[in-house]
Structure 1
């Protein structure tokens, strides 16, 4: 049956996961606090989609592979695909997606995408592996798109910040017509810290192509913090739904390897910024971990 829910848990954290998109549905600590956005469609129905085989949009929603066009919706097809639960223990599970007639029609490759969730104490690690099972080089992009509640539990009315572990001030990139704009804009970070305000998202996502480092903290001033670490995910985006009344009550912390197509580009998948190309039987791994207040 489609959209089966799997639950993993330990004494600190409980996570519910859906086979549709291998997407996390809930993230709750033992004290009953919920940290993941609950997907209210009045704002945004997503919760934590997995982005493959591309991140962001393509020109006219059409990618090209060696010049041949294929229809491809924003963020690829994995988030709308039914995964198989390949392994499950009380505190871990692994989902798998392989090529099908539906995927071959828009992405002509044989592949294996596995997504594994693992709890260790108050830390959740989400790891993905992409394997090329085709006889030809396979271009792709990959990203995570988890959304967390804003304000954080118990922190109503408090300022919230994102602080990069490396203390950097990475240049800002913006989308134009849904595609990556050419300008490097001044960083909104000051000594590694950004104080969040919904006005920052009036021009859509804030994208940091390079320099955001391998971890950050999302925190309330006098309240809880979520600490993140990233593996093989050089790009970072922060996003919430702009222009809603009231303001959308979530923040997406999105580590990527790959971005939307560049404005004015051909749409060739291999030429998108930070795209990867796997040879036959090669694999790439990507992961993020979030440490929750115990």
Structure 2
């Protein structure tokens, strides 16, 4: 089932499967979200929960048992319930179940709220620990933005002039190898060789937003003040770019298998609630 929210400036469409944003259009009917062509990548904007990235051996240990959890977790492959809706906002929810407890032994609720406000779409994540134990989790966004025409006509502008160290992936895990993204006037021109080793993974950065420019003209901006980490990714020759605010990232080869010791993990106390929000601003 698809849900549409709208205001004077924008229209957003969300699929109840995965509570996935699948369209964001302005009043000129310009589409900002990737179409999801499976020849390149068959998704639009999946929600990453209860992990971001890949666990070492796709597993973790808890309370004397080994659990297997696939890359990016299971939320993106679940049917969400629409629990609140008005013209410009919609909230979707999933809860832990017998099936989720087999791979992630923690009781939770996850709410995703999409809200249009003028020329921005905000996406709020709310994680509720419904159990009696502390709950380790990661959560992240994976929106893919459509970039038509020549990929090298586009540039990313970071909010701040900074030295941007990113970590390279090896077999989907974070390696010790790093590179530095060289900025000129806070910008870097996009090119596919940037992504020859998969995503650019920034564990930390000072900027709270990035702007996509086409031929030096700003098109849209992603604000992620709440989020400590960021991934940027595309596939070779694909006409999209993913800008991914994260709480957490893939394991390293040195990971112990204990989720509570995992780098970048969030720990939520019994009956506590976690909230975070990012937004997409059309310029």
TM-score by shorter chain over 0.5: yes
Higher-strand-fraction structure: 2
2:263 maps to 1:273:
yes
Native 8 Å contact 2:200 2:231 kept in 1:
yes
Q: Which residue of 1 aligns with 2:197?
A: 203
1:33 equivalent among 30, 35, 39: 30
Determine helix, strand or coil for the equivalent of 1:231. coil
Q: Which residue of 2 aligns with 1:161?
A: 155
Measure the CA separation in 1 of the matches of 2:282 and 2:12.
12
2:214 maps to 1:193:
no
CA distance 1:157–1:130, change in 2 (3 Å): closer
Measure the CA separation in 1 of the matches of 2:227 and 2:270.
22
1:55 equivalent among 52, 57, 63: 52
- Compute the TM-score of the two structures, normalised by the length of structure 1: 0.92
Residues 90-143 of structure 1, C-alpha deviations (whole Å, 9 max, x = no match): 100000111111111101111111000000111100010111111000000110
2:263 maps to 1:233:
no
Native 8 Å contact 1:66 1:268 kept in 2:
no
* Greater shift in the superposed pair: 77-86 or 260-269: 260-269
Native 8 Å contact 2:230 2:243 kept in 1:
yes
CA drift at 1:268? 2.1
CA drift at 1:183? 2.9
Measure the CA separation in 2 of the matches of 1:121 and 1:192.
27
Determine helix, strand or coil for the equivalent of 1:172. strand
Determine helix, strand or coil for the equivalent of 2:60. strand
Measure the CA separation in 1 of the matches of 2:129 and 2:171.
31
Q: Which residue of 2 aligns with 1:140?
A: 137
Native 8 Å contact 2:211 2:218 kept in 1:
no
RMSD: 1.5
1:117 equivalent among 96, 114, 123: 114
2:83 maps to 1:89:
no
Residues 164-195 of structure 1, C-alpha deviations (whole Å, 9 max, x = no match): 11222221111111001123322343453221
Measure the CA separation in 1 of the matches of 2:152 and 2:251.
36
Q: Which residue of 2 aligns with 1:78?
A: 75
Q: Which residue of 2 aligns with 1:248?
A: 238
Native 8 Å contact 1:160 1:221 kept in 2:
yes
Measure the CA separation in 1 of the matches of 2:151 and 2:248.
35
Aligned length: 283
Measure the CA separation in 2 of the matches of 1:237 and 1:157.
18
Measure the CA separation in 1 of the matches of 2:96 and 2:151.
47
CA drift at 1:260? 0.3
Determine helix, strand or coil for the equivalent of 1:261. coil
Uncovered stretches (5+) of structure 2, i.e. residues with no partner: none
1:105 equivalent among 91, 96, 102: 102
Determine helix, strand or coil for the equivalent of 1:183. strand
Measure the CA separation in 1 of the matches of 2:262 and 2:138.
8
Native 8 Å contact 1:162 1:193 kept in 2:
yes
